[in-house]
Amino acid sequence: MLTPLLEEDPRQIGPYRLQNRIGAGGMGTVYLGFTPDQRAVAVKVAAEDLAEDVEFRSRFEREVHAALRVRGNAVAAVLDADTEALAPWMVTEYVEGISLAQAVRARGRLENHLVRGLAVGLADALVAIHSAGVVHRDLKPSNILLAWDGPKVIDFGVAHLTDSSTLTRTGHVIGTLAWMSPEQMRGEPSGSSADVFAWANCVTYGATGRHPFHAESPDQLALRVQRDSPDLDALPAYLHSVVARSLSKDPARRPTASALLAALVGRTSVEGVTEADAVAGDFLERTWTGTGRAPTESITVLPGAAGPAVGANPADGVTPAGGVTPAGGATPAGGAAPADRPATGWSPRVDRPAPAAGPWPVGVPPPASAFRPAVPPPTPIPPPRRPTA
């Protein structure tokens, strides 16, 4: 949410004129800024009290270097940075939208067509991130913006490069605890599979309105992540198999981001960022932005996935492979279990939540304005005054 600048806020950072606050935290403040040619950007400025901290400056520089390597449609691109400034800063493209955390807090779980787009868009983002040799390590609902054309991943504050051996130390926990993988919680070295675990956490949160290891306290949640099976009872049936495997306690059993995306869009494989962006963009155009619907909405079962294959559940608007629903709406052999499937692990059974009440009818994609906050026009710069005689 955009708020006015405070009296102590800078009005200019480098060549960028600041107009509003986007958000602030212990590490710094993010502003809405404008380039000299009046293009909106997001300007992240480190807190001044941290600027003299050598370790913080090193971390900020790593964030910039990691983010600069990543290019993809589902990731906010870094445009400029100055890590040597008195208060280091970084400029990224401005994404008009609210975070997944804000959306769920305000409206409850997302509707099915948005859940599909969320799963595909985040998988596309992870393909771009991992292809650049980067691990995000802090994928969470507040770092996912729901833009008019799909989800966008932001904030590489705790990312690290997979070709660097100096950034992850055993016993050193990095990231946001609630969304971490089990190995991250234990302070063990973590790779790209930790991001896949976080993907599953975030998709479940968007689809059901709560964490898959929901608990009464952070300590209990952390214990459940280490010990229990996730509560996927309210998850749409077509996502059960792929999400369950992505939440495996064993990192080696989780799919890669490319395999994840291929399964979600019904392909045997997806190779590279260009192909990932193309297939994800086509899917989002058909389901998220409202220009049509995907011709088939089945999901490819990942090789080696435990349990029965996930087929189609007509109640979820999913057709089996080939796009043909069996007569009478029966679930095909090997299809999804019914909605009253008992919960596993610690969690009690929950009924499928009804779609949140609001202006978006079920199954119809929202207009672009649904995720687009009002962006004020740049303040005009008055002409210089002529000296009086």
Q: Which residues are catalytic?
A: 138
Q: Closest Cα to residue 69, out of 126, 136, 122, 132?
A: 132
Burial class (CB in 10 A: 0-12, 13-18, 19+), 186: middle
The rounded distance, in Å, linking the Cα atoms of 159 and 135 is 6
**Which pair of tokens denotes residue 32?**
């809405």
Helix (H) or strand (E) holding 81: strand 78-82
Q: Is the dihedral of CA 253, 256, 257, 263 positive or negative?
A: negative
**Which pair of tokens denotes residue 305?**
């996935």
The rounded distance, in Å, linking the Cα atoms of 208 and 50 is 38
**Do 123 and 260 contact (CB within 8 A), yes or no?**
yes
Classify residue 287 by its DSSP letter.
Answer: H
Residue in the structure block whose two tokens are 């595909």:
120
The rounded distance, in Å, linking the Cα atoms of 323 and 261 is 19
The rounded distance, in Å, linking the Cα atoms of 5 and 59 is 26
Residue 147 has, within 13 A of its CA and on its CB side, a CA count of 20
- Phi/psi of residue 186, nearest 5 degrees: -85, 0
Return the SS3 of 216.
coil
